[in-house]
Amino acid sequence: MRVVAGSVKGIPLKAVPGNSTRPTTDKVKESIFNMIGPFFDGGVALDLFAGSGGLGIEALSRGIDHVIFTDKDRRAVETIQSNLEKTRLTDQAEVFRADAERAVKAIKKNGVQARLLFLDPPYHLKKSYDLMDKAGELEIVTKDAIIVCEHDKEVELPDRTKYFERYKKELYGSTIISIYRYQGEEGERID
């Protein structure tokens, strides 16, 4: 596992010890960023269920200004911090050991709005994908937000949720990447 492109391209990243996380492969990571736009001109990203922090670190390397990483696993948090130190990106990141639902509420209290949200929960936590609409409801994402969901091919996510519409869906082995854009509440039109 490494940083695929950008300012810290090629730096290897540590995986979380044990089997509690499932790192996104470099091939899938590269495909995700090809789908959402390979580089960014600033903004904030949220990496919920961050694991090793690979997706958020890739976003920083590609031009996102700041990433908030959350994971409830102590080993994951330690791995994210280690990977941020290795890539010298610690000044552009906050890392919290927290349940994703609590983290979303705390982010709202802090007045943060993200243009990019990575949602990659353990595959058996299907209800965790509801955090996408929670982020829309709490307005912690911008009106042009992109949501990246990584899920098992057995998990069927809707094409349209209350706030988001899927515009890309790609299968990589047993993993599906679904990319959503903010659309406002159903019935509301965003131009």
Tens of pLDDT, residues 97-136: 998 888 998 999 988 999 999 998 876 777 788 899 999 9
What is the residue whose two structure tokens read 């906050």? 94
**pLDDT class for 191, splitting at 50, 70, 90?**
very low
Structure tokens at 41: 């001109």
170 is in which domain, residue-wise?
30-182
Residue 152 lies in a domain: yes
Residue 187 lies in a domain: no
Domains held by the chain: number: 1
- 142: domain CATH number is 3.40.50.150
Considering only 41-45, 61-65, 122-126, 140-144, which range has the smallest mean pLDDT? 122-126
Residue 18 lies in a domain: no
Considering only 15-29, 37-51, 87-101, which range has the smallest mean pLDDT? 15-29
20 pLDDT exceeds 70?
no
**Whole-number mean pLDDT of the chain?**
89
Residue 188 lies in a domain: no
Residue 16 lies in a domain: no
Residue 5 lies in a domain: no
Q: How far is CA 109 from CA 6, 44, 86, 138, 146, in A?
A: 32, 16, 30, 10, 21
d(CA 121, CA 74) in angstroms, rounded, equals: 16
